[in-house]
Copies of this chain bind each other. A is one copy, B any other.
């Protein structure tokens, strides 16, 4: 981060993927320019919020007549590091691991899946999305001989800490954890703990509000 760059609040960071997705949709529709007002309607965020968010990154040069969609899309992609060619491994080839391995959106966003690991001898050796599932016993050997940036954890809760530590000790810089625990490492290891029941709880709240 450059010296004069402001620390970007987490809520703003969390909105970047949404901006990126929306801009990608606009690009597909061959829309070349969009005003912060029009973007705000689409995104359900106020136009002033959008301008504030973008100001953290220099504002992206809106000049009265709106943002250049392609430029903005590429800039945000760059900020998100989507052009860095990050590689991933998935540890845990159960249903969720298989779903994520088959998820072509990850690849579309610039992430390259390079390995899948499991401890189930019935799964080891089978292929998911063209990639052979390897034994968990080979994980460290693999990590030591391949560049792996991100570990996606879909192992049972009881195994997550040990697996995460193996990944981190072998130089993995980020963990996406689906194992319903709150992993936390020193600040040089980035972690996203994903709780699939959170949006379900939020939905339940909204339903309840609608009924009142």
Contact = CB atoms under 8 A, between A and B. Distances in A.
Interface of A: 1-2, 11, 13-14, 16-18, 20-21, 79-82, 84, 86, 88, 94-96, 98-100, 102-103, 105-106, 108-111, 149-150, 152, 173-176, 180, 187-192, 194-212
Contact of A200 (B109, B207, B210): B109
Given A81-B208, A190-B206, A202-B17, A102 B109 contact: no
B18 A205 contact: no
Nearest to A7: B209
A212 to B, nearest CB: 5
Given A16-B201, A199-B194, A210-B173, A180 B105 contact: yes
A201 B20 contact: yes
Residue among A2, A180, A197 facing the most chain B CB atoms (10 A cut-off): A197
Given A109-B201, A201-B80, A150 B17 contact: no
Contacts of A210: 173, 187-190
A206 B174 contact: yes
A202 B103 contact: no
A193 to B, nearest CB: 8
B203 A176 contact: yes
A157 B202 CA distance: 23
Given A80-B201, A81-B207, A95-B99, 19 more contacts: A13-B202, A16-B202, A17-B198, A80-B204, A80-B205, A81-B205, A84-B208, A95-B96, A95-B102, A98-B99, A105-B180, A105-B196, A173-B211, A174-B206, A176-B200, A188-B210, A190-B203, A190-B207, A194-B196
